[in-house]
């Protein structure tokens, strides 16, 4: 089993990163092969809105984008995986621009005919909910603000999964990042570790 994590924080040693790594460590402890992608280290250009990837031959598992950067290889890894961890800090009430840029460029996993305007695309390879995903959001606003700060981010990161037919198994919001003690962070890391274990269990249930 292969679980991949995509980190939307530019701080590769920050709290969000540590939580995502804890989830991947949990998944690995439960038998998965894991990989941690720091999106800040990847060459991901802005989507230019041509929709060529979206309209590309529906027989292709990944629609071809004319931009030649790291996104093609990231989508290959994504397609190979059985489960996902997406993690982003809240920036200005939403996911980071870095995570958003990655999400926009992921649209090549869906297909829509140019002859069917104003319709929603369909997954090129529907996962039939056998693939599972875990979402992690960190914010400086305390845990009570989960609904205001966390939910828009969960919705944004999980939106493609509805189309791709990936089941979200858990959404973890960790607030008050500026005041978390090392003990608090360790406690949250343990929760993320357990969520990583549960992610693998959920994938295993399907096979
Ligand atoms: C530009 C910027 C905007 C931010 N906006 C918010 C916000 O709207 N709500 C919030 O709760 N935290 C906000 N924060 C705090 C970050 O979410 C917090 O520092 C981050 O989750 C910590 O994770 P990290 O260690 O991975 O950076 C913001 C931080 C920055 C740098």
- Dig out the tokens for 145 from the structure: 């603000």
Domains in the chain: how many in total?
1
21 lines ligand 1 (CB under 6 A): no
Task: Give me ligand 1 centre to Cα 84, in Å.
Answer: 22
Task: Give me ligand 1 centre to Cα 138, in Å.
Answer: 7
168 lines ligand 1 (CB under 6 A): no
Q: Residue 29: its pLDDT value, please?
A: 98
Residues 6 or more apart whose CB falls under 8 angstroms from that of 79 comprise: 61, 62, 109, 125
141 lines ligand 1 (CB under 6 A): yes
Give the mean pLDDT of the chain.
Answer: 98
153 lines ligand 1 (CB under 6 A): no
Residues 6 or more apart whose CB falls under 8 angstroms from that of 199 comprise: 3, 23, 26, 27, 83, 85, 132, 133, 134, 169, 170
Task: Give me ligand 1 centre to Cα 146, in Å.
Answer: 13
CATH number for the domain spanning 132: value is: 3.40.50.360
CA distances from residue 170 to 68, 81, 196 in whole angstroms, order as listed: 34, 18, 10
Q: Residue 207: its pLDDT value, please?
A: 80
Mean pLDDT of 3-26: 98
Per the structure, the complete domain to which residue 45 belongs is given by: 2-205
List, in sequence order, every residue forming a beta bridge with 111; answer none if it has no partner. Answer: 122
Q: What is the pLDDT of residues 43-57, one digit of tens each?
A: 999 999 999 999 999
Burial class (CB in 10 A: 0-12, 13-18, 19+), 28: middle
Cα separation, 172 vs 90, whole angstroms: 13
19 lines ligand 1 (CB under 6 A): no
The residue nearest atom 25 of ligand 1, judged by CA position, is: 14
Which atom of ligand 1 has the smallest separation from the CA of 9? 26
Q: Residue 45: its pLDDT value, please?
A: 98
140 lines ligand 1 (CB under 6 A): yes
Residues 6 or more apart whose CB falls under 8 angstroms from that of 49 comprise: none
Q: What is the pLDDT of residues 102-142, one digit of tens each?
A: 999 999 999 999 999 999 999 999 999 999 999 999 999 99
**H or E segment at 5?**
strand 2-7
121: phi then psi, degrees, rounded to nearest 5 = -65, 165
> Is residue 32 pLDDT above 90, yes or no?
yes
pTM for the full model?
A: 0.98
Burial class (CB in 10 A: 0-12, 13-18, 19+), 43: exposed
CA distances from residue 126 to 123, 156, 160 in whole angstroms, order as listed: 5, 19, 11
> Is residue 97 pLDDT above 90, yes or no?
yes
- Dig out the tokens for 38 from the structure: 């720091």
Length of the chain: 207
Sign of CA dihedral 15, 21, 23, 25: negative
Q: Please provide the DSSP assignment of 156-184 as one string.
A: HHHHHHHHHTEEEEEEEEE--GGG--HHH
**H or E segment at 22?**
helix 15-29
Mean pLDDT of 19-30: 98
Task: Give me ligand 1 centre to Cα 76, in Å.
Answer: 30
60 lines ligand 1 (CB under 6 A): no
89 lines ligand 1 (CB under 6 A): yes
The residue nearest atom 15 of ligand 1, judged by CA position, is: 140
Q: What is the pLDDT of residues 155-187, one digit of tens each?
A: 999 999 999 999 999 999 999 999 999 999 999
Q: Residue 3: its pLDDT value, please?
A: 98
> Is residue 88 pLDDT above 90, yes or no?
yes
């Amino acid at each position: 089993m292969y679980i991949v994590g995509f980190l939307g924080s530019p701080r590769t040693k920050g709290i969000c990163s540590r939580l995502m790594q804890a989830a991947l460590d949990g998944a690995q402890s439960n038998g998965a092969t894991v990989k941690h992608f720091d999106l800040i280290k990847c060459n991901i250009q802005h989507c230019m809105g041509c929709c060529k990837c979206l309209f590309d031959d529906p027989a292709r598992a990944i629609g071809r984008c004319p931009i030649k950067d790291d996104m093609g290889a990231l989508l290959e890894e994504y397609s190979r995986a059985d489960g996902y961890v997406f993690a982003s800090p809240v920036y200005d009430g939403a996911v980071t621009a870095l995570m958003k840029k990655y999400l926009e460029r992921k649209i090549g996993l869906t297909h829509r005919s140019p002859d069917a305007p104003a319709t929603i695309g369909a997954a090129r390879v529907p996962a039939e909910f056998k693939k599972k995903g875990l979402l992690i959001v960190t914010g400086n606003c305390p845990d009570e603000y989960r609904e205001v700060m966390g939910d828009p981010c969960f919705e944004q990161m999980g939106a493609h999964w509805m189309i791709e037919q990936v089941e979200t198994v858990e959404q973890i919001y960790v607030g008050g990042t500026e005041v978390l003690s090392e003990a608090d962070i360790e406690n949250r890391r343990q929760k993320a570790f357990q969520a990583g274990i549960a992610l693998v269990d959920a994938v295993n249930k399907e096979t």
